[in-house]
Amino acid sequence: MIRAAAKNFKWVSVVVSPKDYRSTGEAISSGGLTEKRRFSLAKKAFGHCAEYDQTIFETLSEKTPEHDSLRYGENPHQQAFVVKGDMPSSLGIPQAKQHQGKALSYNNFLGKLGLIKINHNIIILLQISLLIQSKVNLIG
């Protein structure tokens, strides 16, 4: 969206730096921004996007994430994989060891992920009910 606005600097102003908020607001209040000012803001916007893209590139270049191929994607003709967490303490399905059976497909993976979320919600509900029960016991 920032790039799209910057490309249309003749008609649109894009502000990516909080340092420019006040002067831009003042310019708008006093009749609007000149094309020269919008062009200057557009250059800053493209510079901001370039820095952001460079940061992503450098971060991804430092890592080669470990991943497991899944048997197939959402449909049998599609390929899929799941990226494992890079923390030694990462827990979850990608870090689990499969002892038997076919390799997981994308749909199997999503199903298991859903079960983990349901179990987590059940644990929270049990904790809440125990807390309520203990407060009732204290009052009564």
**Is-contact 84 95, C-beta < 8 A?**
yes
132/73 same-domain check: yes
Host domain of residue 42: 2-62
Measure the CA–CA gap between 126 and 2, rounded to whole angstroms: 46
Q: In 3D, which of 100, 101, 82 has the Cα closest to residue 92?
A: 82
Tokens of 20: 């420019």
58/71 same-domain check: no
pTM for the model stands at 0.47
56/78 same-domain check: no
Q: What is the DSSP letter of 70?
A: E
Q: For the chain, what is the domain count?
A: 2
Last residue of a domain, one of 27, 62, 97: 62
72/47 same-domain check: no
Q: What is the pLDDT of residues 49-64, one digit of tens each?
A: 999 999 888 877 776 6
35/81 same-domain check: no
Looking at residue 88, its pLDDT comes to: 60
15/44 same-domain check: yes
43/78 same-domain check: no
Q: What is the pLDDT of residues 76-92, one digit of tens each?
A: 888 887 777 666 655 66
* Residue whose token pair is 């450098």: 58
78/121 same-domain check: yes
How many residues are listed for the chain in this entry? 140
